[in-house]
């Protein structure tokens, strides 16, 4: 790495460690001759284009990755016909979707029906704006970045509702209602989980949170594991991934809010869903796994590659849960949210506040205090999880999963009673 | 029976009060084109929010009038129809029909034929239960993973069918008086390796599914039916056994020499969807037990009795039944002395097991209704015939 | 092994409930249609017969009459009984429904009604099961092809061909349009005339 | 900020806000009206942004666009279809009078305000300042608001817990008693959907 002089490339446009350089140079060049507003607009455009240029191909690869990984879970090969190792399969799918006829139900509310596939992209793309790919590499490093993330992701649900309602289809309406109910419920534990980080690190800027982790040499998943778990589950609920994919539960309501969308309109929903999964993975990596920072490795490897690697790990975890777990029912999800996640995250907000106050007022040495707090918080998390497991396993679930084997007795009710009494005696 | 009557009247009373207060119940058609109805089955559910108030099934989309067609064909020509009745358990259907025809004709099946029939009936049970359990977990919302696991085993069974009779799904293998072909040489080694592998596989499925908290939450206490109600509704097979009633025709009315094999009847405790799943898992193990006893003890000799192709049974009637993977599968044949049956009736377990579907679904959520339907393990070909 | 319950013993149980409700002929128990429900209830509740499981319910068209065949099973005593009911009226055959005794009779009676046209009095929801409302005729009857409006693929024709509405048609042809905006589509309607023309 | 960009943004956002608001009045379909309301609120959020009030802008989006409008949609969906249209009502005149009063008051306040304060540099790190003032100077109103919202939440639960659910649960337990599995079904008394929705909205407000 140090084979060439770093000082030569530092800040030059071809310094690929910081992708911001290019846009900064262009902006400075425009600022030399153009008005202010032009350079702001150009900066925005460049950022959006850069993000689009990154996530467009990434999405195509991600579709392939997801299908391939799921196929491996299911002991299949997955796509392997189009292109090398099936890599061009998503392209072929996209071409197919574009060529398909765009159907609209006759009784649909036309305008509201046509808008959602386009509008759904807006929050999906806006969220990327506050994601720091490196120390200075985010399109807009807002000082309320965390709030911005929550606000923008919250508006997506409105689009889902528009899609479901305008389709004039009962499945779609059910999907939309479920999506909305889920989304506004799971936003609460999501906010609370992020609030622990905000309270503890004392900043609402996303990059600030990463810098705090870098400064204190600790990642938040060690300090606040329960917030990480809650955020992961709430995020997978908001993303409609199993076990919380009730708003597009295939076995119940066909495809939920996008039942009536065909062709590329469906393709857009699908792409945004994948893109949201990716961006939420990236935010989980940023908030809880240190983002672009990795104990000094970011000095040697471009920061955005570190972030992508962490994102990939979280994304794999999301695929894993999807490939393994069945789906919960809506009332079960709701009671899990309100009875388990919200109280637990609320308690951890208080814990974070207390620990932060202690750190600030007592002036403790963070290198000693933080590991102790981490141990305490991990113990608390384990306790909370075990308490939940104990409480949630009701009497019904605690009964053993077993069958009684009957060898010599055949019959009806009398035999059933006999078998039951023998099985009961044998316990 | 009075208790069930009371329940029904109480339920209908509740529905009236629910509908009377100005809320709008939603009628949702599940099917005939729906991912969870396993074919062209239509369930019309009336929902209050997510709670099912009424469930009514509409069937007949796959009606092929087999009972009428069979009256025009000879007894042997009718065997392929039975494949298509329950296309997921073709061997069992062949067997039940041949048993009824043999009862009419008074034919004795040679011992080798009997053993081969048991072998394939049990293999068919393994394949059918693999399908049933896989799709059941799918209906609970798993993303196809358990389904594909269980399909691997089903594929191996179907491979064995293919090497024996050339067909994988609609086998047309049994004949009146035995089976159509002898076992090929490569079958028994294949079967042995299958039997060697299966315990590990079943153990892995149990690891994956038995203690799965989400599966428990979804299937425990859902679609509960009492043994009294189950018997009164003529439910049979794993659904009846899941309520705790040890009723298995292989034990109660042994056919094809089932009395010579050692196996147990698995019964459940609560009669809910999860128990049905458990009973099916346990039945697979029992089938493997039977196959293990069978594999080294297949007698030599002919596999098909000498029955004329255009057999003319004497006037009379016969009702023969077997324990198919779905329950009591019976064939009622009436002969008027001609080469074709005068009346050909199939007692379809899938259809009759749906008798209590409405009672099981009402009061639960829409998702529960889907799980209940999945746990009943319907085959639309058999429902509609 | 499931034993066959002696029909004579079953007949005694039946007749104890109602005089002359059942009789045994050639080893088969026949029940009077009017007393069917009572008889089956007696067989179900009597401890010696204990026939609590309705295995099978079907009908046979014997050309002069219909024969309803019931297979009843006792699970604890492990015996099975076949009993039959004769219906002689071909124009409007009817028997009492067993749905009050066996919930499992519900679907099977609908099937018999659908395919044979035998009415089950007292059935709470007697509609066609497989075929649509308005399907002409009852397919499992032996004279089905002589009923009006049949599809006669590959058959040269029948004596009554061309006669209209000689046979009662259950229900009416649904005229509900498929879509409110499309008055042209008329649902799944079966025209009585078309098949004959199509064949010609 | 250069004046051209600022003016362009202001006029676009103003047009969006006022246009959306007018369409609410014009639209007959209540669902459409809510969508227009969302557009209008987004415009307001944009206006806050041009005033360098990031925090307020984000909160505007979070609460009004993300939560309040969704709750309105829910309320509309739960209303019987017959009463859902934006038709003529007898309350037209009183509503117009109230609107005129409010408009007059707003214009009066707008004319009376010293807008010169706005020209000062934007406050850095507003979120922290707002938080501090909420917890220190205005802690009493803040707590009163919290209690009020909690009361609203409890009230919403009480209202949403209709006899319907009790009746459905009762039917369940009847079925259970008939089947002899009464204890199994007791768990079905988990909170039904409607109640949770009411929770969600109130919780959203309370949380922010």
Q: How far is A393 from chain B, CA to nearest CA, in Å?
A: 8
Residue C158 sits in which domain range?
131-200
- What is the rounded average pLDDT for all residues in chain C? 73
Q: Which two tokens mark B267?
A: 């019964």
Q: How far is A375 from chain B, CA to nearest CA, in Å?
A: 28
- In this prediction, residue D181 has a pLDDT band, given cuts at 50, 70 and 90, of very low
Closest Cβ–Cβ partner in D164, D168, D192 for B363 = D168
We report the CATH number of the domain holding residue D65 as 1.20.120.1200
Residue C131 with chain B: CB contacts under 8 Å: 60, 63
- Taken in order A201, A207, A211, A213, the sign of the CA dihedral is positive
Closest Cβ–Cβ partner in B254, B347, B354 for C1 = B254
Domain chopping of chain A, boundaries:
13-96, 100-359
Span D11-30, average pLDDT: 87
- In this prediction, residue D118 has a pLDDT band, given cuts at 50, 70 and 90, of low
- Sorted by sequence, the CB contacts under 8 Å of residue B220 that are 6+ apart come out as A396, A397, A399, B270, B272, B273, B274, D184
SS (H, E, C) chain A: CCCCCHHHHCCCCCCCCCCHHHHHHHHHHHHHHCCHHHHHHHHHHHHHHHHHHHHHHHHHHHHHHHHHHHHHHCCCCCCCCCCHHHCCHHHHHHHHHHHCCCCCCCCCCHHHHHCHHHHCHHHHHHHHHHCCCCCCCCCCCCCCHHHHHHHHHHHHHHHHHHHHHHCCCHHHHHHHHHHHHHHHHHHHHHHHHHHHHHHHHCCCCHHHHHHHHHHHCCCHHHHCHHHHHHHHHHHHHHCCCCCCCHHHCHHHHCCHHHCCCCHHHHHHHHHHHHHHHHHHHHHHHHHHCCCCCCCCHHHCCCHHHHHHHHHHHHHHHHHHHHHHCCCCCHHHHHHHHHHHHHHHHHHHHHHHHHHHHHHHHHCCCHHHHHHHHHHHHHHHHHHHHHHHHHHHCCHHHHCCCCCEEECCCCCCHHHHHHHHHHHHHHC
Interchain proximity B355–C106, CB inside 8 Å: yes
Q: What angle do CA A185, A129, A125 make, to 5 degrees?
A: 65
Interchain proximity B231–A174, CB inside 8 Å: no
Q: Which two tokens mark B211?
A: 């203690």
Asked whether residue C163 carries a pLDDT value surpassing 80, the answer given is: no
Percent of chain D having pLDDT more than 90?
Answer: 16
B330 and B200 part of one domain: yes
Which three-class secondary structure state does DSSP give residue B274?
A: helix
Predicted complex: ipTM over 0.90? no
C65 and C27 part of one domain: yes
Q: Which residue has the higher pLDDT, C73 or D184?
A: C73
Span C184-194, average pLDDT: 41
For the stretch A57-110, pLDDT in tens is 888 888 888 888 888 888 888 888 887 888 888 888 888 888 988 888 877 777
Q: What are phi and psi of B57, to 5 degrees?
A: -105, 145
Q: How far is B20 from chain D, CA to nearest CA, in Å?
A: 10
Q: Residue D55: its pLDDT value, please? A: 81
- Cβ of A404 under 8 Å from any chain B Cβ? yes
Question: What chain B residue is nearest to C109 in terms of C-alpha separation?
Answer: B352
C86 and C47 part of one domain: yes
Q: Residue B25: its pLDDT value, please? A: 76
Q: How far is D6 from chain B, CA to nearest CA, in Å?
A: 49
- Taken in order D23, D26, D30, D32, the sign of the CA dihedral is negative
For the stretch B88-118, pLDDT in tens is 888 999 999 999 999 888 888 888 988 999 9
Mark whether C and A touch (3+ CB pairs within 8 Å): yes
B229 close to B359: Cβ distance less than 8 angstroms: yes
Q: Which chains touch C (3 or more CB pairs under 8 A)?
A: A, B
Mark whether C and D touch (3+ CB pairs within 8 Å): no
Which three-class secondary structure state does DSSP give residue C101?
A: coil
- For residues A71 and A323, give the distance between their C-alpha atoms in angstroms, rounded to a whole number: 9
Interchain proximity A411–C75, CB inside 8 Å: yes
B44 and B73 part of one domain: no
C66 close to C60: Cβ distance less than 8 angstroms: yes
Q: Residue D29: its pLDDT value, please? A: 77
D134 and D62 part of one domain: no
Residue C75 with chain A: CB contacts under 8 Å: 410-413, 415
DSSP state of C95: E
Asked whether residue B155 carries a pLDDT value surpassing 80, the answer given is: yes
Asked whether residue B216 carries a pLDDT value surpassing 70, the answer given is: yes
Closest Cβ–Cβ partner in B218, B252, B267 for A329 = B218
Look at residue D96 and tell me if it is in a domain.
no
Asked whether residue D100 carries a pLDDT value surpassing 90, the answer given is: yes
Q: Which chains touch A (3 or more CB pairs under 8 A)?
A: B, C, D
Domain finish residue from C67, C96, C129:
C129
B50 and B142 part of one domain: no
Residue D1 with chain A: CB contacts under 8 Å: 36-37
Q: Which has the closest alpha carbon to B105: B76, B64, B143?
A: B76
- Cβ of A72 under 8 Å from any chain B Cβ? no
Asked whether residue C180 carries a pLDDT value surpassing 60, the answer given is: no
- In this prediction, residue B268 has a pLDDT band, given cuts at 50, 70 and 90, of confident
Burial (Cβ within 10 Å: 0-12, 13-18, ≥19) of residue C73: buried
Interchain proximity A106–C179, CB inside 8 Å: yes
Span C41-48, average pLDDT: 84
- In this prediction, residue D198 has a pLDDT band, given cuts at 50, 70 and 90, of very low
Look at residue D178 and tell me if it is in a domain.
yes
| A276 CB-side CA count, 13 A | 25
Query: Best interface-test mutation with A: which of D12, D29, D66, D188 has the largest number of A CBs within 10 A?
Result: D66
Split into its structural domains, chain C has a count of 2
- In this prediction, residue C45 has a pLDDT band, given cuts at 50, 70 and 90, of confident
Asked whether residue D174 carries a pLDDT value surpassing 80, the answer given is: no
Which three-class secondary structure state does DSSP give residue C85?
A: strand
Look at residue D108 and tell me if it is in a domain.
no
Residue D35 sits in which domain range?
1-86
Percent of chain A having pLDDT more than 70?
Answer: 90
Q: Which residue has the higher pLDDT, D73 or B172?
A: B172
Asked whether residue D15 carries a pLDDT value surpassing 90, the answer given is: yes
- What is the rounded average pLDDT for all residues in chain D? 73
CB–CB contacts below 8 A, A to C = 19
- Sorted by sequence, the CB contacts under 8 Å of residue A269 that are 6+ apart come out as A116, A117, A120, A163, A258, A261
Q: How far is CA C171 from CA A278, B61, C127, C128, in A?
A: 57, 19, 9, 9
Q: Residue A7: its pLDDT value, please? A: 47
Q: How far is B173 from chain D, CA to nearest CA, in Å?
A: 42
Tens-digit pLDDT profile for chain A (427 aa)?
A: 344 444 445 556 666 666 666 777 777 787 777 777 777 777 778 777 877 887 778 888 888 888 888 888 888 888 888 878 888 888 888 888 889 888 888 777 777 888 888 888 888 888 888 888 777 777 777 777 888 888 888 888 888 888 888 888 888 888 888 888 888 888 889 889 988 988 888 888 888 888 888 888 888 888 888 888 889 988 888 887 777 777 777 777 777 888 888 888 888 888 888 888 888 888 999 888 887 777 777 677 777 788 888 888 998 888 888 888 888 888 888 888 888 888 889 888 998 888 888 888 877 777 787 888 888 888 888 888 888 877 776 555 556 667 777 777 777 777 777 777 777 644 4
- For residues B146 and B152, give the distance between their C-alpha atoms in angstroms, rounded to a whole number: 10
- Cβ of A76 under 8 Å from any chain B Cβ? yes
Percent of chain D having pLDDT more than 70?
Answer: 65
Q: Residue C171: its pLDDT value, please? A: 47
- For residues A189 and A192, give the distance between their C-alpha atoms in angstroms, rounded to a whole number: 5
Domain finish residue from C129, C160, C188:
C129
C47 and C60 part of one domain: yes
C123 and C141 part of one domain: no
Residue B216 sits in which domain range?
66-384
Interchain proximity A411–C181, CB inside 8 Å: no
Interchain proximity C75–A106, CB inside 8 Å: no
Burial (Cβ within 10 Å: 0-12, 13-18, ≥19) of residue D110: exposed
Split into its structural domains, chain B has a count of 2
B39 and B139 part of one domain: no
Question: What chain B residue is nearest to D164 in terms of C-alpha separation?
Answer: B18
Domain finish residue from D55, D70, D86:
D86
Domain finish residue from D56, D86, D116:
D86
Query: Best interface-test mutation with D: which of B24, B275, B363, B372 has the largest number of D CBs within 10 A?
Result: B363
Q: Which two tokens mark D107?
A: 């214009």
Query: Best interface-test mutation with B: which of A416, A418, A420, A422 has the largest number of B CBs within 10 A?
Result: A416
Split into its structural domains, chain D has a count of 2
Interchain proximity B267–A76, CB inside 8 Å: no
For the stretch C70-93, pLDDT in tens is 998 888 888 888 888 888 888 888
- In this prediction, residue D105 has a pLDDT band, given cuts at 50, 70 and 90, of very high
Residue A161 with chain D: CB contacts under 8 Å: 70, 73
For the stretch B218-260, pLDDT in tens is 888 788 888 888 888 888 889 988 888 888 888 888 888 888 8
For the stretch D134-153, pLDDT in tens is 888 888 998 999 999 999 98
Q: Residue C147: its pLDDT value, please? A: 63
B169 and B273 part of one domain: yes
Q: Which residues of A202-225 are buried (b: 16+ CB within 10 A; e: fewer)?
A: ebbbbbbbbbbbbebebbbbbbbb
- For residues D131 and D139, give the distance between their C-alpha atoms in angstroms, rounded to a whole number: 10
Q: Which chains touch D (3 or more CB pairs under 8 A)?
A: A, B
């Amino acid at each position: 790495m140090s084979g060439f002089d770093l000082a030569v490339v530092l800040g030059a446009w071809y310094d690929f460690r910081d992708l911001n350089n290019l846009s900064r140079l262009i902006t400075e060049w425009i600022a030399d001759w153009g008005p202010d507003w032009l350079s702001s607009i150009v900066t925005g455009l460049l950022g959006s284009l850069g993000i689009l240029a990154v996530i467009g191909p990434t999405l195509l690869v991600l579709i392939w990755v997801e299908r391939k990984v799921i196929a491996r879970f299911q002991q299949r090969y997955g796509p392997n016909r189009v292109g090398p190792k099936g890599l061009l399969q998503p392209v072929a799918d996209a071409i197919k979707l574009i060529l398909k006829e765009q159907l609209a139900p006759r009784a649909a509310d036309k305008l509201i029906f046509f808008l959602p596939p386009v509008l759904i992209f807006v929050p999906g793309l806006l969220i990327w704006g506050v994601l720091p790919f490196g120390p200075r590499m985010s399109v807009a490093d807002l000082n309320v970045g965390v709030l911005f993330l929550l606000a923008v992701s919250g508006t997506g649900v409105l689009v889902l509702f528009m899609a479901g309602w305008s389709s004039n289809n009962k499945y779609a309406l059910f999907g939309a209602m479920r999506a909305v109910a889920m989304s506004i419920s799971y936003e609460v534990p999501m906010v609370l989980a992020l609030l622990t980080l905000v309270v503890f690190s004392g900043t609402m800027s996303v990059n600030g949170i990463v810098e705090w982790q870098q400064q204190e040499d600790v990642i938040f998943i060690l300090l606040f594991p329960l917030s990480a778990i809650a955020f992961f589950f709430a995020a997978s609920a908001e993303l409609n991934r199993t076990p919380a994919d009730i708003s597009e539960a295939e076995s119940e309501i066909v495809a939920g809010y996008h039942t009536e969308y065909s062709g590329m309109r469906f393709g857009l929903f699908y792409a945004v869903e994948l893109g949201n999964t990716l961006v939420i993975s990236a935010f989980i990596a940023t908030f809880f796994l240190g983002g672009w920072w990795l104990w000094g490795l970011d000095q040697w490897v471009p920061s955005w590659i570190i972030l992508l690697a962490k994102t990939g790990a979280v994304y794999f975890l999301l695929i894993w849960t999807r490939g393994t777990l069945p789906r919960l029912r809506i009332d079960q999800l709701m009671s899990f949210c309100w009875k388990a996640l919200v109280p637990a995250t609320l308690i951890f907000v208080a814990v974070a506040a207390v620990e932060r106050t202690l750190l600030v007022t007592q002036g403790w040495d963070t290198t000693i205090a933080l590991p102790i707090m981490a141990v305490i918080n991990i113990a608390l998390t384990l306790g909370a999880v075990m308490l939940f497991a104990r409480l949630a396993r009701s009497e019904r679930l605690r009964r053993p999963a077993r069958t009684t084997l009957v060898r010599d007795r055949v019959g009806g009710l009398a035999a059933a009673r006999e078998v039951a009494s023998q099985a009961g005696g044998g316990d | 029976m009075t208790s069930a009557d009371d329940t029904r009247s109480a339920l209908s009373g509740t529905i009236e009060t629910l509908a009377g207060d100005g809320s709008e119940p939603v009628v949702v058609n599940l099917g005939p084109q729906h991912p969870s109805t396993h074919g062209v089955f239509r369930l019309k559910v009336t929902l209050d929010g997510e709670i099912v108030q009424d469930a009514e099934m509409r069937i007949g989309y796959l009606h092929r009038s087999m009972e009428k067609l069979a009256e025009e064909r000879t007894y042997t020509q009718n065997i392929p129809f039975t494949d298509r009745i329950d296309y997921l358990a073709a061997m069992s259907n062949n067997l039940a029909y041949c048993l009824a025809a043999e009862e009419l004709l008074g034919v004795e099946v040679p011992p080798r034929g009997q053993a081969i029939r048991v072998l394939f009936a049990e293999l068919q049970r393994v394949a059918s239960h693999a399908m049933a359990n896989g799709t059941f977990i799918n209906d609970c919302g798993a993303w196809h993973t358990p389904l594909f696991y269980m399909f691997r085993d089903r594929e191996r069974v179907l491979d064995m069918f293919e090497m024996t009779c050339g067909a994988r799904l609609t086998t047309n293998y049994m004949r009146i008086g035995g089976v159509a072909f002898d076992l090929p040489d490569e079958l028994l080694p294949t079967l042995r390796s299958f039997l060697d592998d299966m315990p590990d596989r079943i153990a892995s499925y149990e690891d994956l599914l038995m203690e799965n908290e989400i599966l428990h939450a979804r299937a425990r206490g859902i679609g509960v039916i009492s043994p009294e109600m189950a018997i009164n509704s003529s439910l049979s097979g794993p659904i009846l056994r899941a309520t705790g009633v040890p009723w298995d025709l292989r034990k109660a009315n042994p056919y094809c020499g089932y009395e010579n094999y050692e196996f147990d009847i698995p019964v459940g405790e609560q009669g809910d969807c999860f128990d049905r799943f458990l009973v099916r898992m346990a039945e697979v193990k029992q089938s493997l037990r039977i196959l293990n006893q069978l594999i080294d003890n297949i007698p030599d000799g002919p596999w098909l009795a000498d029955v004329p192709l255009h057999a003319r049974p004497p006037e009379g009637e016969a009702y023969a039944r077997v324990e198919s993977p779905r329950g009591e599968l019976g064939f009622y044949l009436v002969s008027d002395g001609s080469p074709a049956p005068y009346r050909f009736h199939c007692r379809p377990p899938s259809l009759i097991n749906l008798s209590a579907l409405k009672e099981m679904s009402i009061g639960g959520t829409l998702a529960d209704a889907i799980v209940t339907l999945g746990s009943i393990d319907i085959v639309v070909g058999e429902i509609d015939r | 092994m499931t034993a066959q319950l002696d029909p004579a013993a079953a007949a005694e149980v039946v007749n104890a409930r109602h005089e002359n409700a059942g009789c045994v002929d050639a080893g088969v128990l026949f029940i009077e249609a009017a007393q069917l429900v009572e008889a089956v209830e007696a067989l179900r509740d009597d401890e010696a017969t204990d026939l609590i499981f309705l295995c099978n319910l079907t009908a046979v068209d014997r050309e002069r009459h219909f024969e309803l065949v019931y297979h009843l099973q006792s699970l604890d005593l492990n015996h099975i009984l076949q009993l039959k009911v004769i219906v002689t009226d071909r124009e409007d055959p009817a028997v009492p429904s067993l749905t009050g005794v066996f919930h499992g009779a519900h679907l099977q009676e609908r099937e018999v009604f659908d395919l044979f046209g035998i009415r089950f009095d007292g059935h709470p929801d007697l509609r066609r099961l497989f075929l649509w409302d308005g399907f002409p005729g009852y397919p499992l009857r032996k004279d089905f092809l002589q009923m009006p409006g049949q599809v006669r693929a590959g058959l040269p024709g029948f004596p009554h061909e061309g006669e209209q509405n000689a046979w009662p048609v259950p229900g009416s042809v649904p005229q509900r349009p498929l879509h409110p905006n499309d008055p042209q589509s008329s649902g799944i309607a079966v025209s009585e005339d078309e098949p004959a023309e199509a064949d010609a | 900020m250069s004046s051209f960009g600022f003016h362009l943004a202001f006029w676009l956002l103003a047009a969006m806000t006022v246009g959306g608001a007018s369409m609410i009045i014009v639209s007959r379909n209540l669902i459409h009206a809510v969508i227009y309301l969302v557009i209008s609120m987004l415009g307001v959020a944009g206006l806050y942004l041009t005033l360098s009030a990031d925090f307020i802008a984000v909160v505007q989006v979070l609460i009004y666009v993300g939560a309040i409008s969704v709750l309105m949609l829910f309320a509309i969906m739960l209303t019987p279809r017959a009463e859902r249209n934006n038709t003529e009502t007898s309350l037209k005149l009183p509503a117009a009078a109230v609107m005129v009063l409010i408009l007059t008051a707003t214009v009066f306040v707008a004319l009376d305000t010293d807008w010169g304060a706005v020209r000062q540099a934007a406050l850095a790190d507003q979120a922290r300042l707002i938080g501090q003032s909420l917890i220190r100077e205005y802690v009493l109103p803040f707590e009163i608001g919290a209690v009020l919202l909690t009361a609203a939440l409890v009230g919403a639960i009480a209202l949403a817990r209709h006899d319907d659910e009790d009746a459905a649960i009762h039917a369940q337990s009847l079925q259970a008693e008939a089947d002899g599995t009464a204890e199994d079904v007791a768990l079905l008394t988990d909170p039904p959907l409607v109640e949770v929705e009411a929770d969600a909205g109130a919780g959203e407000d309370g949380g922010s």
